[in-house]
Structure 1
Amino acid sequence: MNKPIRTVSIFCLLLFLALAVNATYLQYYHASALNDRADNGRVATATYSRARGAILVGHTPIAESVKENKDQYKYQRTYRDPYMYAPVTGWYTFGNETGMERYENSFLSGEDDSLFVNRLVDLVNGTATKGGNVQLTIDPAAQKAAFDGLSALGPDIEGAVVAIQPDTGKILAMVSLPTFDPNKLADHDFKKANAYATRLSKLKSQPLLNRAIQTTLAPGSTFKVLTAAAAVEHDGLTSTSVVPAGPSYTLPQSSNTVHNEVAGCLSKITLTVAMMDSCNTAFAPLAVKVGATDMHQTATAFGFNQQYFDQLPGQAISRYPAGLDPPGTALSGFGQGSVTASPLQMAMLTAGIANHGVVMQPYLVNAEQSPTSFETLKPGSSHQLSQAVSSSTATEVTKMMVATVQSGTATPAAIPGIQVAGKTGTAQSGLKNPDGSEVPPYAWFVGFAPAPSPKVAVCVMIQHINTPTDEIAGGKLGGPIAKAVMEAVLNSHG
Structure 2
Amino acid sequence: MIRCIRHVSAVGLLLLVALLANASRVQVLNSEEYGANPANRRHALAHWAQPRGDIYAGGVRLTGSVDTGEGLRYERTYEQGALYAPVTGFASQSYGTTMLEDTEDASLSGRDPRLAPLPLWGELTRSPQPGAQVHTTIEPRLQEAGYAGLRGRKGAVVALDPATGRILALVSAPGYDPRELAGNSPKVRAAWQRLLADPDQPLLNRATRQTYPPGSTFKVVTAAAALSSGVVEDIDAPTVSPSPYNLVGTRTLLRNESAGCADAPLHTAFVVSCNTVFAKLGASVGTEEMARTAAAFGFDDEGLRIPAPVLPSHFGSRMDAAQVALSAIGQFDTRATPLQMASVAATVANGGIRMRPYLVDRIADRSGETVTQTRPEALGGPVVDGYTAQRLQEMMADTVRVGTGRRAAVPGALVGGKTGTAQHGVDNSRKPYAWFVSWAKAPDDRVARVAVAVVVEDAEARRSDISGGGSAAPIARAVMKAALADGEGEPGRDRR
Indicate yes or no: 2:201 matched with 1:206: yes
Return closer, same or farther for 1:377/1:37 CA change in 2, 3 Å cut-off: farther
Return closer, same or farther for 1:114/1:39 CA change in 2, 3 Å cut-off: farther
What's 1:53 paired with?
A: 53
Q: TM-score, normalised on structure 2?
A: 0.90
Per-residue deviation at 1:36? 6.0
Indicate yes or no: 2:280 matched with 1:285: yes
Correspondences of 1:74-113 after superposition (within 5 Å): 74-94=73-93, 96-113=96-113
What's 1:20 paired with?
A: 20
Q: State the Cα deviation string for residues 332-380 of structure 1 (Å, max 9, x = none).
A: 1111111111101111111111111111111101111102x11110112
Cα separation, 2, equivalents of 1:367 and 1:34: 35
Cα separation, 2, equivalents of 1:262 and 1:268: 13
Return closer, same or farther for 1:470/1:400 CA change in 2, 3 Å cut-off: closer
What's 1:450 paired with?
A: 441
Amino acid at match of 1:384: A
Cα separation, 1, equivalents of 2:183 and 2:258: 51
Q: State the Cα deviation string for residues 403-448 of structure 1 (Å, max 9, x = none).
A: 111100011111111111100000111436xxxx811111100000
Per-residue deviation at 1:314? 5.3
Amino acid at match of 2:472: G
Correspondences of 1:430-449 after superposition (within 5 Å): 430-431=425-426, 438-449=429-440
Out of 262, 275, 289, the residue aligned to residue 258 of structure 2 is 262
Asked if the contact 2:44–2:72 (Cα under 8 Å) also holds between the matched residues in 1, the reply is: no
Cα separation, 2, equivalents of 1:45 and 1:127: 13
What's 1:229 paired with?
A: 224
Q: TM-score, normalised on structure 1?
A: 0.90
Asked if the contact 1:424–1:475 (Cα under 8 Å) also holds between the matched residues in 2, the reply is: no
Return closer, same or farther for 1:279/1:185 CA change in 2, 3 Å cut-off: same
What's 1:138 paired with?
A: 138
What's 2:177 paired with?
A: 181
Cα separation, 2, equivalents of 1:270 and 1:179: 43
Cα separation, 2, equivalents of 1:482 and 1:468: 16
Task: Describe the SS at the equivalent of 2:106.
Answer: helix
Cα separation, 2, equivalents of 1:334 and 1:171: 27
Amino acid at match of 2:486: S
Q: State the Cα deviation string for residues 32-73 of structure 1 (Å, max 9, x = none).
A: 77556554212202211311000110211111213344x444
Cα separation, 2, equivalents of 1:302 and 1:222: 13
Cα separation, 2, equivalents of 1:310 and 1:34: 32
Amino acid at match of 2:145: A
Seq. identity, %: 39
Amino acid at match of 2:476: A
Amino acid at match of 2:60: T
Asked if the contact 1:119–1:129 (Cα under 8 Å) also holds between the matched residues in 2, the reply is: no
Cα separation, 1, equivalents of 2:118 and 2:484: 38
Return closer, same or farther for 1:431/1:214 CA change in 2, 3 Å cut-off: farther
Per-residue deviation at 1:9? 2.6
Amino acid at match of 2:210: T
Asked if the contact 1:186–1:193 (Cα under 8 Å) also holds between the matched residues in 2, the reply is: yes
Asked if the contact 1:444–1:478 (Cα under 8 Å) also holds between the matched residues in 2, the reply is: yes
Cα separation, 1, equivalents of 2:461 and 2:292: 38
Q: State the Cα deviation string for residues 299-333 of structure 1 (Å, max 9, x = none).
A: 01111011243346452211111021100011111
Cα separation, 1, equivalents of 2:240 and 2:350: 29
Amino acid at match of 1:19: L
Return closer, same or farther for 1:255/1:188 CA change in 2, 3 Å cut-off: same
Cα separation, 2, equivalents of 1:404 and 1:51: 51
What's 1:397 paired with?
A: 392
Return closer, same or farther for 1:142/1:308 CA change in 2, 3 Å cut-off: farther
Indicate yes or no: 2:357 matched with 1:366: no
Per-residue deviation at 1:469? 5.0
Task: Describe the SS at the equivalent of 2:200.
Answer: coil
Return closer, same or farther for 1:409/1:439 CA change in 2, 3 Å cut-off: same
Amino acid at match of 1:440: K
Correspondences of 1:116-155 after superposition (within 5 Å): 116-117=116-117, 129-151=129-151, 155=152
Amino acid at match of 1:289: S
Unaligned runs of 5+ residues in structure 2 are 489-496
Return closer, same or farther for 1:218/1:124 CA change in 2, 3 Å cut-off: closer
Asked if the contact 1:91–1:186 (Cα under 8 Å) also holds between the matched residues in 2, the reply is: yes
Per-residue deviation at 1:461? 0.6
> What is the root-mean-square deviation of aligned Cα atoms in Å?
2.7
Amino acid at match of 1:209: L
Correspondences of 1:458-477 after superposition (within 5 Å): 458-465=452-459, 467=460, 476-477=470-471
Q: State the Cα deviation string for residues 186-226 of structure 1 (Å, max 9, x = none).
A: 1342x211111111111111110000011111100000000
Return closer, same or farther for 1:279/1:256 CA change in 2, 3 Å cut-off: same
Return closer, same or farther for 1:320/1:395 CA change in 2, 3 Å cut-off: same
Residue-pair matches, total: 481
Bigger Cα displacement from structure 2, 387-396 vs 286-295: 387-396
What's 1:309 paired with?
A: 304
Bigger Cα displacement from structure 2, 319-328 vs 123-132: 123-132
Task: Describe the SS at the equivalent of 2:471.
Answer: helix
Amino acid at match of 1:379: Q
Correspondences of 1:422-433 after superposition (within 5 Å): 422-431=417-426
What's 1:322 paired with?
A: 317
Amino acid at match of 1:420: V
Cα separation, 1, equivalents of 2:213 and 2:161: 24
What's 1:482 paired with?
A: 476
Amino acid at match of 2:487: H
Return closer, same or farther for 1:31/1:64 CA change in 2, 3 Å cut-off: farther
Per-residue deviation at 1:264? 2.8
Task: Describe the SS at the equivalent of 2:481.
Answer: helix
